[in-house]
Every structure is written in C-alpha cells, then in structure tokens.
Amino acid sequence: MPLEFSVQSKQRVERLLSRYPTKQAALLPVLHVAQEEFGHLPDDVIELVSRTLDLAPAHVYGVVTFYTMFHREKMGRNELMVCTNISCMLKGGYGILKHIEGRLGIKAGETTPDGAFSIVEEECLAACAGAPMMICGDNYFLDLTPDKVDVVLDELRKRFREDQKSAPLNRTMFGMGPGGEKA
C-alpha cells in the first residue's frame, strides 16, 4: 500500500492547491507539509508528493535536492542552521559554529545520537544586519555570542527532554525571543 498523507495534511494540501494556479506552482508549500508530517523526504514521500501533484518524481526530487530547507535524511528535532556567509563570518560566525559543535559533540551535517539536534552550515540566511546568526524552526537568533548560544541550546535541550516521549515532530520553538531569551 502506498504512503498517504494524514487527513489533516490532505486538508492543508487541498487548501494550498486552491491558492495556486497549477498543481506544480504549489510544489514548495506541499513539500513543506510533507516534511512537517514525515520529518524528512525519502523516496516514498517524494513519490507521494509527485502523485498528489501529478508531477514526475524526477521533478520533485530535483526540487528537494536543490533547496537546503528540504531534507532527504532524518534530521534532529531542533535543526540549527548556522550562517557562515561573509557578514556572519566577519562577525564571528565560524566561532559560533565551532562553539555549537563543541557543546553538542557533533559537526555540521551531523545529528546528536539522541536526535535532539542537527547542525547545518548555511551559506546565507538573509539576516546580515544581525550577524552572526542562526535559525531554528521559525526563530531567528541574531547577534549571537557563545553565552546567547548556550541559553538557546539549554532551553532547546530542556524542551526536547520534556517532549521526548509524547510530542510529534515540531521544529518550532514557542516563546523564544531573537536572542534566545524567553519572550
């Protein structure tokens, strides 16, 4: 039996399709729905999206592998996207990346053994005025220092432990301000 979207995701996809002139135009938002539901986009999920949108699987695969926001492999619950482009680099982005790697005991491109964190080195996250910066979920963390990073990581670790047994995959962090402080 082929993989299917949940009822809630099917409803979201239908709402998305009503907002776009063609099914192909809805590909990026539908991929986001799929990744939210399944956690990553392996071949069976790519096949589901291609069936849903009447697109060739090769087309969907090409889009998935082009954009860094889509993942073929399972990522940690908290995906830390750390910018190392020119503005962030000049303001200490590589130092922030190394600090995160040291705190978590993994390198960029890896996931912690417990699945709590993945680190992704990003080329540009479009927040140069707040360099150095990272994104986790829907939250931007700007003007980072090692101390700010430690606050963010400690809060994420705490939430991961609290939710580990019962929470579905959710990459957003509710109640965190741009510097990692509680809002």
pLDDT in tens, 46-104: 999 999 999 999 999 999 999 888 999 999 999 999 999 999 999 999 999 999 999 99
**Angle (CA) 167 138 116, round 5°:** 45
Q: Does 108 share its domain with 139?
A: yes
Q: Does 152 share its domain with 86?
A: yes
Q: What is the pTM of this model?
A: 0.72
Distance CA 2, CA 4 (A): 6
Side chain identity at residue 22, one-letter code: T
Structure tokens at 130: 């707040």
Sheet of 139-141, strands arranged across: 117-122, 78-83, 134-136, 139-141
pLDDT band at 142 (very low <50, low <70, confident <90, very high): very high
pLDDT band at 165 (very low <50, low <70, confident <90, very high): low
119 occurs within a structural domain: yes
pLDDT band at 164 (very low <50, low <70, confident <90, very high): confident
| Buried/exposed 63-84: b ≥16 CB within 10 Å, e otherwise | bbeeeeebbeeebbbbbbbbbb
DSSP string, 77-107: SEEEEEE-SHHHHHTTHHHHHHHHHHHHT--
pLDDT band at 167 (very low <50, low <70, confident <90, very high): low
Containing structural domain, residue 102? 78-163
Determine what percent of the chain is predicted with pLDDT higher than 70.
90
Report the CATH number that the domain containing residue 31 is assigned in CATH: 1.10.10
Domain count, the chain: 2
